[in-house]
Structure 1
């Protein structure tokens, strides 16, 4: 059997981690991004702009067995999100059509921002999507583009990704970041390696002939109140001074469940923020 091929469109941080894992498993990996010099060794570079309707000159001409779309918005406003997630995906689907390529499955990387729950309730793939902001609304629109593409598709809604290079909260804690304890503001996280690992896991399951669902949530085992996470980090880092006033720079309070992914056999390497942040701080 020949090696399966995958095109990772928007091959940035998570995409590159996925590419590295797939290369180690013998996959042929194409990575589409503007600057292909930043791709991991072994990835076949496809220099291109997802926002441009013109097909990249280096577009693969052979079979594309799988497509993973995991772009990131460069402009964090409504137009930037539409370009990155809706128009970018539409462009890639158009380029596939130009070459007569029909992947066995498309995996679209979405976000838990499609859930707007505020009361700390548990949510899963069957929960109502009540996105209030443009980010969640446009993610839902992009999800429908993927699911209506004519290609078998699955959507992976990732929660707050953290990891090396994604250390905003660590920086804030070192500066004395303080948040209110009550009411608890629940947050959801997944280490970047686990986000990539779940994508690789879903691809492998599809190759094995396992029937995938249309929706999955990518999150660790332990959603937790932000105050708890900040308190644990403060103790771990030995921070003894903090701001007089509590502040929170995010909205929403929900607990996302990974039960569907775990029922398929996936197990996160970092089961909670404790293991994940400890690995970052210890350089692992």
Structure 2
């Protein structure tokens, strides 16, 4: 049975693990906080801090076949991003450097924020990153370290993640705490991320560290999403709320052609399918 070490076992991991287990993998989840009740025979947990090389050394004793990293920042500052993302990647690579004849695949959950503002243009995996904020800069540093490491796997750049428990935009429309702008936005439902990771795990043909965009079929102006949500919620949006400012993450359209060329089909190909499900009472 192939094994997966998932470091940063949060929401995405909890959605993906059942799919991996059903596909025949055993999963070890690593968390900073107290471990969860496994709830499945092929799922176990370990605790530790991914910034510490010694934690990685303990976790790697079992030599998992695949390592998946999906971290969060310790806080929304440059230092928080370095602690949450870059330091764990550096610690992993240092721990691996001491191990001979061991070459796990590494999957890293990154973000399309590495592009910053593209002026509304399409960007794909060949587009040169140009981050405009510290979050994108730190994530790009992680990507560069992994690309230079010699290990195989995937750098998975996710666009804006939404889904159960990730309803900030819906909440902002309900409370009126939002601004309208024409900048292009991109998103992906958390369940589709889980399904995409499961698909990638089945391929096993990757020969290098590949970059892959995880984003749905429908880049859309932020204004259009907000107005659609307001209509679904029966909320009137005043025209005075319109603004031409571009968000901090910039305006760009993320191409998912590479992901779809692998045979992936979205459960939620656009925001309308995904948000409709979230707006429907259980």
TM over 0.5: yes
**Is 1:186–1:225's contact at 8 Å kept on the other side of the alignment?**
yes
Q: State the TM-score, normalizing by the size of structure 2.
A: 0.90
Residue in 1 that maps onto 2:93: 93
Residue in 1 that maps onto 2:16: 18
Please say which of residues 132-141 and 51-60 is displaced more in the overlay. 51-60
The Cα RMSD (Å) is 2.3
C-alpha separation between the residues in 2 aligned to 1:136 and 1:55?
A: 26
**What secondary structure does 2:154 align onto?**
strand
2:163 maps to 1:163: yes
Gaps of 5+ in 1: none
Q: State the TM-score, normalizing by the size of structure 1.
A: 0.89
C-alpha separation between the residues in 1 aligned to 2:80 and 2:183?
A: 28
**Is 1:105–1:153's contact at 8 Å kept on the other side of the alignment?**
yes
Residue in 2 that maps onto 1:130: 130
Q: How far is the alpha carbon of 1:101 from its aligned partner? A: 7.2
Q: 1:283 to 1:108 in 2, by over 3 A?
A: farther
Gaps of 5+ in 2: none
**Is 1:61–1:99's contact at 8 Å kept on the other side of the alignment?**
no
Residue in 2 that maps onto 1:52: 52
Q: How far is the alpha carbon of 1:243 from its aligned partner? A: 8.3
C-alpha separation between the residues in 2 aligned to 1:191 and 1:136?
A: 21
Q: How far is the alpha carbon of 1:127 from its aligned partner? A: 0.9
Q: How far is the alpha carbon of 1:242 from its aligned partner? A: 5.0
Q: 1:98 to 1:67 in 2, by over 3 A?
A: same
Residues 16-50 of structure 1, C-alpha deviations (whole Å, 9 max, x = no match): 21112212222100111123433652321010111
Q: How far is the alpha carbon of 1:155 from its aligned partner? A: 0.7
C-alpha separation between the residues in 2 aligned to 1:31 and 1:15?
A: 8
Pick one of 213, 216, 230 that aligns with 1:217. 213
**What secondary structure does 2:161 align onto?**
strand
Q: 1:94 to 1:57 in 2, by over 3 A?
A: closer
Q: 1:105 to 1:82 in 2, by over 3 A?
A: same
Report matched runs for 1:1-284 at 5 Å: 3-38=1-36, 41-42=39-40, 43-55=43-55, 59=59, 61-97=61-97, 102-177=102-177, 179-180=179-180, 184-206=182-204, 209=205, 214-240=210-236, 244-246=240-242, 250-282=248-280
Please say which of residues 261-270 and 45-54 is displaced more in the overlay. 45-54
Q: How far is the alpha carbon of 1:98 from its aligned partner? A: 5.0
Q: How far is the alpha carbon of 1:173 from its aligned partner? A: 0.5
Residues 51-79 of structure 1, C-alpha deviations (whole Å, 9 max, x = no match): 23432696253231111111111211111
**Is 1:16–1:39's contact at 8 Å kept on the other side of the alignment?**
no
Residues 116-151 of structure 1, C-alpha deviations (whole Å, 9 max, x = no match): 234111110111211121111111110122122232
Q: How far is the alpha carbon of 1:224 from its aligned partner? A: 0.3
The runs of at least 4 aligned residues of structure 1 exceeding 6 Å deviation read none
**What secondary structure does 2:170 align onto?**
helix
Q: How far is the alpha carbon of 1:80 from its aligned partner? A: 1.1
